Structure 1
Amino acid sequence: MSPERPAVGALFRRFRERLAAQGPVRPGEPGGHAPKTGANGSRATGTGAGVARTDTAAAGARLAPQPPRDVPPTERRRRRRGGGGGEQLTVPPAEFTSYYGRPILKAPVWKWDVAAYLFTGGLAAGSSLLAAGGQLTDRPALRRAGRVTSLAAVSASAYFLIHDLGRPARFHHMLRVAKPTSPMSMGTWILSAFGPAAGVAAVAEAARWLPERGVLGLGRRLLPPAGNAAGLAAAVTAPALATYTGVLLADTAVPSWHEAYPELPVIFAGSALASGAGVGLLAAPTRQAGPARRLAVAGAALELWGGHRVETRLGLLSEPYATGTAGKLLRAGRALTAAGVLGALAGRRSRVLSGLSGGALLAASVCTRFGIFHGGVASARDPKYTVVPQRDRARRRESPGTDINGPGAGPNGG
């Protein structure tokens, strides 16, 4: 058996007696004790059970020796490069992207139904303008095609919007307030004002099928003037319906949408006019399709000009519109728009060529809306489209005499 160990109290009394005999003197002070050294002259750098740290042991472990407590720490040696001061960096400066390359912004959770909503809203607006032109110029086929298409498109637009919201009650709840600074709130009211007017105008086209006598005969007489008034009211609301979706996208934090705030309403307005013209070229006889051809030229000019600006003015943020799915769709949209306009002008007497031109303009509008949608989503997923423009704006602010409202600076100058 091992001998009995001293009690804890006895050990504590011995420690107090030894401490009282030595006094509160530290090594290096007058009357102090020198640090302990080992048998081979190595200075001990630590005490206590399990420590046994000495200079020799530290060298064996490839560690730097611990300096004595009474020696002040020495300044770290600085290296000079090119005669200048400063400490030499051991690692190159890191280029920040994001945390583990993850997106800085949360990409929009919108799906294809929102892109379809953008297209059907523009189609409804363009068709109502086409119908108003046919009404004012006494072209019944053009008026009829525009009114029926406008009602069908706005109904589909309401369906896609409610489908994205998840519950129909949410659309009703958005009508509780009217907030002019909110594009979503204004868009809800615009859609609510446009829909009934387009509906009355389209229903009025069925008046000629009603009997001439009785209650239905009264409807036969009252519906045409009511439809004319409603058609003009829908045409007055159509420009707001065609462009508010562009303002809605630009009002988000998605980089390529936000920076394109001047061009998106122009592109959407041109796309709406071109799609409405496509309906007229498809449905109306060539002798009544004159307004549709003029509408196609105006819409194509706006759409192509806005698309060119988006792909050249935004710098780095133009890249999402030129690559990937968005780039393919937008290039196809430009080609179809150009082909549709040329066909509309060349097919003044050809019903087949006029119809093909109308189909090309409708397909171009679909490609343009979906291309803009995919371009914005792609810019939100890549962190460089958020970080690099922010750094550029910061450098422009720091540089004297520079205009922070230049290309890519944003609506508020950064």
Structure 2
Amino acid sequence: MSGSDVSRDGVEGARPGRDALTGAHAGRRRGRGRGERAVVPDAEFSSYYGEPVLNRPTWKALDIAGYLFCGGLAGASSLLAAGADATARPVLARTAKLGAAGAISVSLAALVHDLGRPARFLNMLRVVKPTSPMSLGSWLLAGYAPLTVAAAAADVTGRYRVVGAAATAGAAALGPVVATYTAVLISDTAVPSWHEGHRELPFVFAGSAATAAAGLALAGAPAGQTGPARRAAVLGAALELGAFRLMKRRMGLAAEPYETGRPHGLLRTAEVLTAGGAALAACAGRRRSRVLGAVAGTALLAGSAALRFGVFHAGVASAEDPKYTVVPQRERLAARSRPGGAEGGRP
């Protein structure tokens, strides 16, 4: 082609509409013709050399998922203990107080074990940072744990009842926060399957904590005193299962790790155990059966634990796959660039 072949209207003899296309457009264009096969496939997402965008959480599954479970069990048990004291159910109250003290002790031990040295937990108490869930959570545990131990000790020994009653009330006041702050803690990270569920995850953990505390009470107290525990089991199961389903619907792509692999198996098990345990708890109340209550309680405890482990493993899986980080970011940028989007209408 020489300079004389070019005119104001383009290249002489060129056939319009026959420009070469590349990339994903080429595959779609060539696939339109009858009998033609796409030569270049549609583009798929990949990260830089296939490496994860986020660092994989280094937390140990047994330590941190156990910490999440035991914290929820302790917080809800303190609330149940205060209610049992107020309604003259002494065995239920003692079971819940001992459960709260034991669970929070195990939770703290798991946290310190994951940190590696006890001094690291103490170092977190050197400052108070209101914008940090970890900082506030450390102070919360430091204040809550002694209250549960004091409440349980006073109940078992029968001494210092005024101090025990005050400790029981204080633990009950902090209990709901202890049961749910771990959801805020993990959703405050950049891990997609945790962060994208930040609206509903505290409600999921609240329901799971209620079922765990109810399960412990059903397993350890006589049937005649477990009325509040049975009601907590049914209401907690409804809150946990409903909030979790709503969370997955709203999360979009980030909900995928909850539906695949090991997390899916754990969460499916949790759903069956929680729903079944709540149904058995309701039946145990009508039949006044201690055995049925113990079976229901065991199922509820196992279901709550399976939920926490499933959520933990789903978060780790989402951090390992870069698409759960980058694809939602691209979708948000595309939405802002559209007319009427978050960035639409700006001059």
Range into which the TM-score falls when normalised by the shorter chain:
0.7 to 0.9
| Number of the residue aligned with 1:98 | 47
Kindly state the Cα deviation for residue 310 of structure 1 after the two structures are TM-superposed: 2.4
Q: When the two structures are superposed, what TM-score results if normalisation uses the length of structure 1?
A: 0.73
> What code does the residue aligned with 2:312 have?
F
Residue identity over aligned pairs, in percent, reads 52
Kindly state the Cα deviation for residue 226 of structure 1 after the two structures are TM-superposed: 0.9
2:198 is equivalent to residue 288 of structure 1: no
Q: How do 1:10-409 and structure 2 match up within 5 A?
A: 83-84=16-17, 88-89=21-22, 94-112=43-61, 113-208=63-158, 220=159, 223-348=160-285, 349-402=288-341
> Which ranges in structure 1 are unaligned for 5 or more consecutive residues?
1-71, 209-219, 405-414
Q: Distance in 2 between matches of 1:169 and 1:403?
A: 46
Q: Distance in 1 between matches of 2:19 and 2:134?
A: 55
**SS of match in other structure, 1:178:** coil
Kindly state the Cα deviation for residue 288 of structure 1 after the two structures are TM-superposed: 0.4
> What code does the residue aligned with 1:176 have?
R
Q: Distance in 2 between matches of 1:234 and 1:254?
A: 31
Contact 1:317–1:379 (8 Å) recurs in 2: yes
Q: 1:88 to 1:305 in 2, by over 3 A?
A: closer
Kindly state the Cα deviation for residue 384 of structure 1 after the two structures are TM-superposed: 1.2
Contact 1:79–1:88 (8 Å) recurs in 2: no
> Which ranges in structure 2 are unaligned for 5 or more consecutive residues?
27-39
Query: Deviations 1:109-129 (Å, cap 9, x if unpaired)?
Result: 111211110011111111111
Two-structure CA RMSD over aligned residues (Å):
2.4
**Alignment length (residue pairs):** 319
Larger deviation, residues 101-110 vs 366-375: 101-110
Kindly state the Cα deviation for residue 400 of structure 1 after the two structures are TM-superposed: 1.4
Q: 1:402 to 1:205 in 2, by over 3 A?
A: same
Q: 1:163 to 1:81 in 2, by over 3 A?
A: farther
Q: When the two structures are superposed, what TM-score results if normalisation uses the length of structure 2?
A: 0.86
Higher helix share: 2
List 4+ stretches of structure 1 deviating above 3 A.
77-82, 84-96
Q: Distance in 2 between matches of 1:323 and 1:228?
A: 47
Between 1 and 2, higher relative CO (CA 8 Å, sep ≥ 6) is seen in 2
> What code does the residue aligned with 1:254 have?
V
Q: Distance in 2 between matches of 1:89 and 1:367?
A: 48
